[in-house]
């Protein structure tokens, strides 16, 4: 039977395809309903996988002792072996297979999530962190299970024809979502999530339609149901009838046509009708995104979110690995500026290798040890990245951008560490850029209100509207329940953005907006009217924004926007927006 569900539209476009139900952190795991007579062999399959992991751990333990590894390494292996034998993990998953007639992978993940939830309740930070060990053990078992797939089962991908795969999940972390870059996913829907969570941001960067905050999609949708995801209107249609399907197929091809027409603007100068040049740059998460940056003709990279290099791995990227990644990007951009933002880990962005390092677990991660705060607390990790960035800057125009600054002393400490990184590189005789420009993100209201130290000590500013809105309005950007309060047009938000742009322009300091507002064509005229001349956005949004730029009159917009900024009521502001 057909039905529709509504959520927060986070990435525009239409996807039509088959549902692929996944569980958090384990994208490959689908839910399958088994026949009664297959349950015994499914339990055997799980036991065989557990045995494989047991042998793996024994081998690891032997290797560790031969290489004279630290006692902690053996202790972790022992802990993992112990978890493997714990009745609350494997035995409970065995019961689930029989009770719910589900596949072993699914049962393991259900049990893992139940245990992780219990660990999260622990007062003691050390015990709480052990949830990562549970996840690692389960991932080992899953790997063993996926190495020996069930004989019965799913249709092979070839049988799906050219239909797309649509991921349906309760929640997806940014780390999960970034993996869609290598998998071929048509779109996704999740039950949780807000409009500017990093999961949503990654969806936009992939250019795949997505709807989050659906509340009940995950329990209501069955694996391989036919789905339509309307990422523009925030709608999911399950098992549509032939008429609706046809209508959406038509709309999808119209959208594709509109997009291909926009391509004509690629080579056009991004200037307003009154001749003001606007720089349109791109946001990227991984070096491979550079291809898209070039495809849409960006003037440079305004934001490289380097934390994505740290995700989905058990170790940290070393100095040379990071240097190679940054150098690859700057070389590919052939002289155009590349703004590399230092590690913004924390809040909704997690990296396994960093999570276990600290005894400190913030009760409210968005207000905790995130971004520059984390880097200043872990200077050795920060110095590795700083050295990699200033070395790569030898090969082109790299600008170094620091996230989440609020205090003058954070600026001072960061600049001192950059100097320390340079001193270290001098002593090792590495080539690097002595004069690399250092800029700051303006994404905490305190920074926007007290800009003095930023103007004095830094070379450029970049306004992160995603966080600036979150912290000004006190709503968690990842929380779908308060997504309706996430309002880029709130007068307080607009004033903070406008003041920052105007103060920077007065001080002759380059300023850009790299938050999601920069890529929303409905806001292009407003930002130009505030005096903004540099925008940074997902490459796929660039041409739509350029279309707005070439139809704008900067002088006229400045006057209209200055009137709009005097209003305190959102309703009036929206009225003025219509008249821009
Ligand atoms: C922002 O906050 O607007 C920003 C660009 O940074 P991020 O979205 O990565 O937090
Ligand atoms: Mg931010």
Give the whole-angstrom CA distance, residue 305 versus residue 459.
19
Clarify whether residues 53 and 135 are in a common domain: yes
Ligand nearest to the Cα of 303, by number: 1
Q: Which of 348, 373, 441 to mutate to test the pocket of ligand 1 (most atoms within 8 A of CB)?
A: 441
Q: Which residue has the higher pLDDT, 153 or 125?
A: 125
Clarify whether residues 354 and 253 are in a common domain: no
Q: Which of 199, 305, 500, 513 to mutate to test the pocket of ligand 1 (most atoms within 8 A of CB)?
A: 305
Q: Which residue has the higher pLDDT, 318 or 171?
A: 318
CA of 516 to the centre of ligand 1 (A): 8
Asked whether residue 5 is domain-assigned, the answer is no
pLDDT at 446 over 70: yes
Asked whether residue 379 is domain-assigned, the answer is yes
Ligand nearest to the Cα of 404, by number: 2
**538 included as an active-site residue:** no
How buried is 138 (Cβ within 10 angstroms: 0-12 exposed, 13-18 middle, 19+ buried)? buried
Least confident of 88-92, 116-120, 254-258: 116-120
| Cβ proximity of 26 and 236 under 8 Å | no
Clarify whether residues 204 and 222 are in a common domain: yes
Evaluate: CB of 526 within 6 angstroms of ligand 1.
Answer: no
- Supply the pLDDT for residue 150: 44
CATH no. for residue 547? 3.20.20.60
How does pLDDT run across 133-184, given as a tens digit for each residue?
Answer: 888 888 889 878 876 544 333 344 434 455 788 999 888 888 878 878 777 7
Mean pLDDT, to the nearest integer, of 412-417? 98
Neighbouring-strand partners of residue 534: 279
How does pLDDT run across 356-377, given as a tens digit for each residue?
Answer: 555 556 788 899 999 999 999 9
Q: Which residue has the higher pLDDT, 402 or 26?
A: 402
Which position has the token pair 């219990």? 118
Of 203, 214, 146, 145, nearest to 179 by C-alpha is 203
Residue nearest to ligand 1 atom 8, measured at CA = 466
Evaluate: CB of 348 within 6 angstroms of ligand 1.
Answer: no
Q: Which residue has the higher pLDDT, 71 or 503?
A: 503
CATH no. for residue 64? 1.10.274.10
Mean pLDDT, to the nearest integer, of 240-258? 94
Clarify whether residues 253 and 372 are in a common domain: no
- Supply the pLDDT for residue 159: 42
Clarify whether residues 278 and 250 are in a common domain: no
Nearest-atom number in ligand 1 for the CA of 403 is 6
DSSP class per residue in 271-311:
B-TT--B-EEEEEESSGGGHHHHHHTT-SSEEEEEGGGGGS
| Cβ proximity of 404 and 364 under 8 Å | no
Evaluate: CB of 199 within 6 angstroms of ligand 1.
Answer: no
Residues 6+ apart with CB under 8 A from 176: 24, 25, 27, 169, 199
Clarify whether residues 370 and 511 are in a common domain: yes
Asked whether residue 509 is domain-assigned, the answer is yes
pLDDT at 70 over 60: no
Q: Which residue has the higher pLDDT, 68 or 52?
A: 52
Which position has the token pair 């913004």? 344
- Supply the pLDDT for residue 62: 81
How does pLDDT run across 469-502, given as a tens digit for each residue?
Answer: 999 999 999 898 999 999 999 999 999 999 999 9
Please work out, in degrees rounded to the nearest 5, the angle formed at the alpha carbon of residue 112 by the alpha carbons of 110 and 118.
110
Evaluate: CB of 464 within 6 angstroms of ligand 1.
Answer: yes
Evaluate: CB of 307 within 6 angstroms of ligand 1.
Answer: no
Evaluate: CB of 230 within 6 angstroms of ligand 1.
Answer: no
Residues 6+ apart with CB under 8 A from 34: 42, 97, 101, 102, 103
pLDDT at 407 over 90: yes
Asked whether residue 377 is domain-assigned, the answer is yes
Asked whether residue 304 is domain-assigned, the answer is yes
Asked whether residue 185 is domain-assigned, the answer is yes
Q: Which of 344, 405, 447, 497 to mutate to test the pocket of ligand 1 (most atoms within 8 A of CB)?
A: 344
Rg of the chain over Cα atoms, rounded to whole angstroms, equals 25
Domain boundary among 233, 261, 289: 261
- Supply the pLDDT for residue 444: 98
What is the DSSP-derived secondary structure letter of residue 157? G
Residue nearest to ligand 1 atom 3, measured at CA = 464
Asked whether residue 89 is domain-assigned, the answer is yes
Clarify whether residues 94 and 220 are in a common domain: no
Clarify whether residues 302 and 388 are in a common domain: yes
Number of domains in the chain: 3
How does pLDDT run across 373-400, given as a tens digit for each residue?
Answer: 999 999 999 999 999 999 999 999 999 9
Active-site residue among 198, 216, 407, 490? 198
Clarify whether residues 387 and 247 are in a common domain: no
- Supply the pLDDT for residue 67: 59
| pLDDT band at residue 69 using 50, 70 and 90 as cut-offs | low
- Supply the pLDDT for residue 149: 46
Asked whether residue 332 is domain-assigned, the answer is yes
Evaluate: CB of 515 within 6 angstroms of ligand 1.
Answer: yes
Evaluate: CB of 349 within 6 angstroms of ligand 1.
Answer: no
Clarify whether residues 81 and 203 are in a common domain: no
Mean pLDDT, to the nearest integer, of 246-259? 94
CA of 398 to the centre of ligand 1 (A): 19
| Cβ proximity of 346 and 370 under 8 Å | yes
Average pLDDT of the chain to the nearest whole number = 90
pLDDT over 90 percentage in the chain: 67
pLDDT at 185 over 80: yes
- In 138-290, where do the E strands start and end? 164-169, 187-190, 210-212, 226-230, 235-238, 279-284
**198 included as an active-site residue:** yes
Please indicate, yes or no, whether the overall pTM of this predicted structure exceeds 0.75. Answer: yes
Q: Which domain holds residue 100?
A: 27-145
Q: Which residue has the higher pLDDT, 21 or 91?
A: 91
Q: Which two tokens stand for residue 307?
A: 């934390």
Clarify whether residues 387 and 423 are in a common domain: yes
């Amino acid at each position: 039977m057909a039905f529709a569900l509504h959520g927060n539209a986070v990435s525009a476009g239409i996807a039509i395809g088959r549902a692929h139900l996944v569980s958090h952190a384990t994208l490959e795991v689908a839910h399958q309903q088994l026949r009664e007579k297959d349950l015994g062999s499914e339990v055997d399959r799980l036991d065989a996988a557990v045995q494989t992991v047991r042998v793996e751990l024994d081998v690891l333990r032997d290797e560790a002792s031969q290489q004279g590894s630290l006692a902690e390494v053996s202790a972790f292996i022992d802990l993992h072996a112990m978890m493997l034998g714990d009745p609350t993990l494997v035995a409970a998953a065995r019961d689930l297979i029989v009770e719910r007639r589900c596949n072993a992978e699914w049962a393991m993940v259900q049990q893992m999530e139940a245990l992780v939830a219990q660990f999260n309740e622990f007062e003691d930070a050390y015990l709480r962190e052990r949830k990562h060990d549970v996840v690692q053990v389960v991932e080992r078992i899953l790997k063993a299970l996926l190495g020996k797939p069930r004989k019965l089962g799913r249709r092979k991908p070839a049988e799906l024809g050219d239909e797309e795969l649509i991921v349906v999940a309760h929640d997806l972390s940014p780390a999960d979502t970034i993996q869609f870059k290598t998998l071929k996913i048509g779109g996704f829907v999740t039950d949780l999530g807000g409009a500017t969570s990093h999961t949503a941001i990654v969806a936009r960067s992939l250019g795949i339609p997505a709807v989050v905050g659906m509340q009940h999609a995950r329990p209501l949708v069955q694996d391989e149901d036919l789905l339509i995801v309307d990422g523009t209107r925030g709608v999911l249609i399950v098992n549509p009838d032939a008429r609706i399907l046809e209508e959406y197929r038509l709309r999808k091809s119209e959208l594709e046509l509109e997009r291909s027409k926009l391509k004509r603007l690629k080579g056009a100068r991004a200037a307003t009708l009154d001749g003001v040049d606007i720089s349109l740059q791109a946001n990227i998460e991984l070096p491979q995104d550079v291809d898209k940056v070039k495809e849409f003709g960006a003037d440079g990279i305004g934001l490289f979110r380097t934390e994505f290099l740290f995700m989905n791995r058990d170790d940290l990227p070393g100095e040379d690995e990071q240097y190679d990644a940054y150098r690859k990007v700057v070389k590919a951009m052939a002289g155009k500026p590349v703004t590399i933002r230092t590690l913004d880990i924390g809040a909704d962005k997690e990296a396994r290798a960093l999570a276990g390092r600290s005894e400190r677990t913030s009760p409210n991660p968005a207000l905790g040890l995130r971004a520059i705060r984390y880097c200043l607390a872990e200077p050795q990790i920060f110095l590795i990245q700083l050295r990699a960035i200033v070395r790569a800057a030898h090969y082109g125009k790299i600008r170094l951008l620091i996230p989440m600054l609020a205090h003058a002393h954070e600026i001072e400490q960061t600049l001192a560490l950059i100097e320390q990184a340079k001193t270290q590189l001098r002593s090792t005789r590495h080539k690097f850029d002595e004069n690399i420009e250092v800029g700051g993100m303006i994404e905490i209201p305190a920074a926007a209100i007290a800009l003095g130290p930023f103007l004095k000590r830094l070379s450029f500013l970049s306004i992160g509207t995603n966080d600036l809105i979150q912290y000004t309005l006190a709503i968690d950007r990842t929380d779908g329940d308060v997504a309706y309060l996430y309002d880029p047009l709130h007068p307080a938000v607009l004033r903070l953005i406008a003041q920052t742009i105007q103060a920077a322009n007065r001080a002759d300091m380059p300023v850009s907006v790299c938050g999601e507002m920069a890529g929303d064509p409905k806001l292009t005229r407003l930002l130009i009217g505030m005096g903004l001349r540099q925008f940074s956005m997902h490459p796929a949004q660039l041409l739509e924004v350029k279309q707005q730029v070439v139809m704008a009159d900067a002088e006229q917009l400045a006057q209209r926007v200055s009137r709009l900024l005097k209003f305190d009521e959102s309703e009036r502001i929206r009225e003025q927006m219509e008249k821009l």
